[in-house]
Amino acid sequence: MNTIRLTMAQAVVRYMMAQKVEVNGDIKPLFPGVWAIFGHGNVAGLGEALYQARETLPTYRAHNEQGMAHAAIAYAKTLNRRQVMACTASAGPGATNMVTAAAVAHVNRLPVLFLPGDTFATRMPDPVLQQVENFHDHTLTSNDCFKPVSRFFDRITRPEQLLTSLPQAVRVLTDPVECGPVTLALPQDIQTFAFDYPEHFFDEKVHRMRRQSADRRELDDALQLIRQAKKPLVIAGGGAHYSGALPELDTLVSRYQLPVGETQAGKGALPWDHAQNVGSIGVTGGAAANALAAEADLIIAVGTRLGDFASGSRAMINPHAKLLSINVASFDAVKHKGQSLVGDAKLTLSALVDGLDGWKPADSWVEQAAELRADWNDTVNRVTADRGTKLPCDAEVVGAVNRAAGEQDIVVCAAGGLPGELQKLWRTRFDRGYHMEYGYSCMGYELAGGLGVKMAKPDSDVFVMVGDGSYLMLNSEIATSVMLGHKIIAVVLDNRGYGCIHRLQQFCGGPGFNNMLEDCLTVEAGAPKTDFAAHAAALGARSEQVENIQALEAALERAKASDTSYVIAIDTDALADTQDGGSWWDVAVPEVSDRAEVRTARERYETYKARQFQNL
């Protein structure tokens, strides 16, 4: 057996470069790049290995470890999980800064390879700089924080352990069911240890998407269930995208005239103006899809885990409706008392098309869905129009950005009130035109995520919509986008606080407290007004502040013409949101309070809890 002597870090890099993936008939690198912020825990080992491979495996320098991981997550999501980026940071705070991003990837079932440096496996110089000493278990390091937010975790304490660990890591990253973040903790001394690796370990391997057909008995049961339905509603989730099942979804719902509601992850599964697309569903969904969900006798869920926002905290969907859950993961398929149909969406939807010949829903249901869809589209036109108000609402800003976006352009967002407005109101015909991180709803994802989206789709304009709160949490990757030449267009909606949670606080009976800047502890003069345009300019972007929607529309044209990242700031109304559509969300209200408003909110809460109980 021929061998090659490499350090552990060099072997990790060489193995990564040997992994390929087939995408639409083309063979591409599984790992197109590595995000890295070096420190003493990874600079001498992995840093040296990446330098030697820099012509083949690019290394991108970021400004924040969490931010670079968000960019890696957004890249993988935009490419439907076909390619994966790796992220490395030093032992200590550099590594733990990535833990939040690992949770984002885990919740959203998105692949990222985390390679955090770790403390010395030999323990000879302990305690080293940034080492978190555990008093009762010396095997624990701060990298153990990755364990609950990784689909696969390993700590490489001998270089030869890579021979069994790396194939498992890549298996998880490329598996349709187990897909998610992988963490390989790399002690800084072991990164530099050498081993004689078999040459065949680094042979090129091409990964192809595995497709699991549905079990014949489950499929027959599903066909029988659908044939009994008169009022079916399809819910399209992110799995429809990741499977590449959009043509099959279109064929099924068009042939049988099935109304389709889209989740945050599923949005774009059908063009917004498709005859069967009744809009988004759930807590932040549109009125049409939610009204149909309340009456449907069958829900056909495709590739969704039916989180609380999609199901209206289990209080929105008709409690007498049956649920058929099509999902590649049995873990998700059995939720909500669902009748599971486990299998790849592309294959399974095709089988349903063939097996339902001669069946159709009730004519009155088809007509009702069409009427509700038309009414909802009228609502969207109304609320996204420029009303000429002195302080525009989020919906008006969404409308302006949507009108500026081209057919192949992409909007990116993550947290606060904007995801609700965007899910309801954003219109796209491009299947990748809507990019929302709402599984973990991570503030700070937006700007870094926009960078990752742009890297994945360089020919699209990427519009990042971000609130002032999220901007202040994590904005440093604006400088990275300028440095790398990956232009993003960011619109900062400044409502001077956490407006979404402020509204929720009031809905639950609470007073304005610690959310809006005017309700926080401050110096006598109050909190300063942040000049977001000036700040973005200091990071290297072009920028401007605008006063109204008309000025915003003109600024968006300048931003589209710009050759570098462009940031537009606009003040918005913190209290106004789109009341049309939406449904209840289970946010617990105190049983005991001195405030009458809280007691009233509790009574309302218990009413909805009773509805929720019917769906358990």
113-125 per-position pLDDT tens digit: 999 999 999 999 9
Provide the pLDDT confidence category of residue 372 given band limits of 50, 70 and 90: very high
Structure-token match 């063979």, residue found: 27
Provide the pLDDT confidence category of residue 89 given band limits of 50, 70 and 90: very high
Query: Cis link prior to 127 (omega < 30° from 0)?
Result: yes
Do residues 82 and 129 touch, judged by C-beta distance below 8 A? Answer: no
Q: Which burial class, exposed, middle or buried, applies to 485 when counting CB atoms under 10 A from its CB (0-12, 13-18, 19+)? A: exposed
Sign of CA dihedral 189, 192, 195, 198: positive
| Pick from 450, 513, 518: nearest CA to 487 | 450
Do residues 188 and 44 touch, judged by C-beta distance below 8 A? Answer: yes
Provide the pLDDT confidence category of residue 611 given band limits of 50, 70 and 90: confident
Look at residue 540 in the predicted model and tell me its pLDDT. 98
Sign of CA dihedral 73, 74, 75, 76: positive
Answer left, alpha or beta for residue 499, where phi above 0 means left and psi between -120 and 50 means alpha.
alpha
CB atoms within 10 A of CB 527: 14
Contacts of 560 (CB under 8 A, 6+ apart): 404, 461, 489
Model confidence pTM above 0.95: yes
Kindly state the average pLDDT of the residues 5-19: 98
**Residue type (1 letter), 498:** Y
Question: What average pLDDT is seen over the chain?
Answer: 96
CA atoms within 13 A on the CB side of 173: 29
Provide the pLDDT confidence category of residue 577 given band limits of 50, 70 and 90: confident
Provide the pLDDT confidence category of residue 337 given band limits of 50, 70 and 90: confident
Kindly state the average pLDDT of the residues 352-369: 97
Eight-state DSSP code of residue 136: S
Look at residue 131 in the predicted model and tell me its pLDDT. 87
Angstrom distance (rounded) from CA 170 to CA 154: 13
Question: H or E element: which one contains 325?
Answer: strand 322-327
Contacts of 462 (CB under 8 A, 6+ apart): 409, 410, 412, 450, 453, 454, 487, 488, 489
Q: How far is CA 611 from CA 220, 294, 544, in A?
A: 32, 11, 48
Angstrom distance (rounded) from CA 346 to CA 399: 33
pLDDT digits (tens, 9 = 90+) for 422-447: 999 999 999 999 999 999 999 999 99
Confidence check: pLDDT of 580 > 90: no
pLDDT digits (tens, 9 = 90+) for 489-503: 999 999 999 999 999
Helix (H, G, I), strand (E, B) or coil at 186: strand
Angstrom distance (rounded) from CA 180 to CA 101: 12
pLDDT digits (tens, 9 = 90+) for 158-211: 999 999 999 999 999 999 999 999 999 999 999 999 999 999 999 999 999 999
CB atoms within 10 A of CB 321: 18
Do residues 179 and 110 touch, judged by C-beta distance below 8 A? Answer: yes
Angstrom distance (rounded) from CA 119 to CA 39: 12
CA atoms within 13 A on the CB side of 299: 36
Kindly state the average pLDDT of the residues 7-30: 97
Angstrom distance (rounded) from CA 50 to CA 35: 10
